[in-house]
Chains A and B, each alone.
Chain A
Amino acid sequence: MRRFGELITWLGVLWLGQALFASAAWAYIDPGTGSYLFQLLMAGLLGAVFAVKMAWRNVKTYLASWFARHHASDADIH
């Protein structure tokens, strides 16, 4: 699952890199503008990766509690 998240990130980052380097133009730098737009450009990607991570964490938490309950009930039987 973690690998899947990393794959999505890589594909997104490669797309971003292509977009940025294809339109290369040196100009007077307004440092805030680029950072602001860069976040917006990354937003979809970051949101998707975050959603995948959260879902995976929820699955892990559920499985951990299920196994804990399962072991506890086994212990009660024995």
Chain B
Amino acid sequence: MLQMRTSTEAVLPSSFRDPSGFLFRDNGILYRQINRVYQSQYEHLIRSGLYRALICDNLLVAHQEVPTEIAPVPQLNPYIVIRPEPIPFISYPYEWSFSQLKACALLTLQVQKRALDYGMTLKDASAYNIQFKAGKPILIDTLSFDRYQEGEPWAAYRQFCRHFLAPLALMAYKDLRLNQLFRLYIDGLPLDLTSSLLPLSTYFRISILSHLHLHARAQQVWSDPATTRRRVRMSRRALLGLIESLETGIHRLRPPANPSIWSQYYEDHTYSREAFSHKLALVEAFLEITQPQTVWDMGANTGRVSQLAARKGSLVIAFDADPLCVELTYRTCVERGEARILPLYLDLTNPSPSLGWAHQERLSLAERGPVDMLLALALIHHLALANNVPLEKIAQFFHGLCRMLVIEFVPKQDAQVQRLLAVRTDIFPEYTQGTFEQVFERYFLIERIARIRGTERTLYLMRAK
């Protein structure tokens, strides 16, 4: 994953586009080298008071300046090296729900407005520059600021529309799943494609008409860079009008489903109340034994077990393959001020891959591990029976993801499994509890086994070999 330069230092392979600087690791700690070419902008960021203002409002990740001797590429003429506060888990826009992407879009515009107050502007507006820290979005790229020149348009306007407005509009007016187009188009959704996919009714929404449909058309009509040589100015008031127009447009976007329906969307009818309480008690006991700092809850549903792990002090990533479910969990976390849970979209049968230049710009799920504890509750029958994944492959994959595993075995006599097998031939003779234990013991040591009261299901605590 990292391009090694010496035994202790490494430049992140995703950090190469901006000549202002780059990220590197030294003894596991993340640093950012700022090159001499960015000196005046960095000094203005600090001396103008913009940095302090952004930090006070939790809009930008804080950093400390450290000696430049640590810089791994001295020939790039380092001006300064900074150590940003770490982000516990890096997530990507194709893993966010509608409201998460919307929050990131509004944060970007808020930062841009604040930057203009201090004579600076955002030189880029990439969704990848925003991450979630303690439940809230935050800008992580300290080098995103440039000096504002009166009369200049916003250089990041196109990127903002591609990274934020286009996917949000498609999710709001078409389908929540269209956020997955981000996986195909790493630099945001092409505006002509977005315009063609949006329903005709969006031509009657001013912000969508202007910033997406007409903007897309403008890109087709004016494709010759020579035309930009004409000396035309964009006043500061017009620039503020542009930001305000984008902000209003994004504020008005709503996810397509009525949230009131979602409150009953994922009530679990599999368990009796007593059985579910017992399952929670068992998971709680396992968490107390192992004290994991990080937990990945695979198939988190609406996050009830994730909440339990968060209460025990773990930082939890609550993955689910249903975008509505992720949306609901995120809204619940925001309402409760939950800082220890990050809900994310993930289809475990096709998890987030390595993407971008040389497959190294965006990390796969596995590259972001291993996690201290992986929760695979009420999941194995979906993988093994509904998706035909052999138990051996499940055990092997989980072994690469975690140090500890809490997994629930759901036998064939369970009502949920019976439902899965009701309309298909049972081609899974090896799907038995005995085979399950035998296969998983090749990769894990089984430390605890407990039957969930009132069910045929069994909960295991395992440690990776």
Q: Footprint of B on A, CB under 8 Å?
A: 6, 9-10, 13, 16-17, 20-21, 23-51, 53
* Contact B221 A24, beta carbon cutoff 8 Å: yes
* Contact A46 B154, beta carbon cutoff 8 Å: no
* Contact A51 B220, beta carbon cutoff 8 Å: no
Q: Digitize B231-250: 1 where CB-to-A-CB distance is under 8 Å, 0 elsewhere.
A: 01111011111101100000
A53 and B240 alpha carbons, distance in the complex (Å):
11
**What total of A-B pairs shows CB separation below 8 Å?**
113
Does B214 interact with chain A (Cβ within 8 Å)? yes
Interface contacts beyond A9-B206, A53-B244: sample of 13 additional A-B pairs, CB < 8 Å, sorted by A: A23-B221, A27-B223, A31-B158, A33-B219, A35-B161, A36-B153, A36-B158, A38-B215, A39-B157, A39-B242, A40-B232, A40-B234, A50-B238
A24 and B161 alpha carbons, distance in the complex (Å):
22
* Contact B157 A35, beta carbon cutoff 8 Å: yes
A32 and B225 alpha carbons, distance in the complex (Å):
8
Q: Digitize B196-224: 1 where CB-to-A-CB distance is under 8 Å, 0 elsewhere.
A: 00000000001001100011011111111
A46 and B228 alpha carbons, distance in the complex (Å):
19
* Contact B238 A46, beta carbon cutoff 8 Å: yes
Find chain B residues with CB under 8 A from A29 CB: 192, 219-220, 223
- For B192, B209, B234, which residue has the most chain A Cβ atoms within 10 angstroms? B234
Does B227 interact with chain A (Cβ within 8 Å)? yes
Find chain B residues with CB under 8 A from A9 CB: 206
Closest Cβ–Cβ distance, residue B116 to chain A (whole Å): 12
* Contact B206 A35, beta carbon cutoff 8 Å: no
* Contact B206 A10, beta carbon cutoff 8 Å: yes
Closest Cβ–Cβ distance, residue A44 to chain B (whole Å): 7
A31 and B242 alpha carbons, distance in the complex (Å):
18
Q: Which of A26, A40, A42 contacts B210 (CB 8 A)?
A: A42
Closest Cβ–Cβ distance, residue A33 to chain B (whole Å): 5
Find chain A residues with CB under 8 A from B235 CB: 43, 47
* Contact B218 A20, beta carbon cutoff 8 Å: yes
A44 and B235 alpha carbons, distance in the complex (Å):
8
* Contact A49 B241, beta carbon cutoff 8 Å: yes
* Contact A33 B228, beta carbon cutoff 8 Å: yes
A75 and B241 alpha carbons, distance in the complex (Å):
40
| Residues of chain B in range 53-77 having any CB-CB distance to chain A below 8 Å | none
* Contact B214 A38, beta carbon cutoff 8 Å: yes
* Contact A34 B221, beta carbon cutoff 8 Å: yes
Residue ID in chain A nearest B209 by CB atoms: A13
* Contact B214 A30, beta carbon cutoff 8 Å: no
Closest Cβ–Cβ distance, residue B429 to chain A (whole Å): 55
* Contact A17 B234, beta carbon cutoff 8 Å: no
- For A6, A10, A36, A43, which residue has the most chain B Cβ atoms within 10 angstroms? A36
Residue ID in chain B nearest A44 by CB atoms: B238
* Contact A47 B241, beta carbon cutoff 8 Å: yes
- Using A13-B209, A29-B223, A43-B234 as known contacts, say yes or no to A37 and B214 having CB atoms under 8 A apart: no
Find chain A residues with CB under 8 A from B221 CB: 20, 23-25, 34
A10 and B228 alpha carbons, distance in the complex (Å):
26
Q: Digitize B377-418: 1 where CB-to-A-CB distance is under 8 Å, 0 elsewhere.
A: 000000000000000000000000000000000000000000
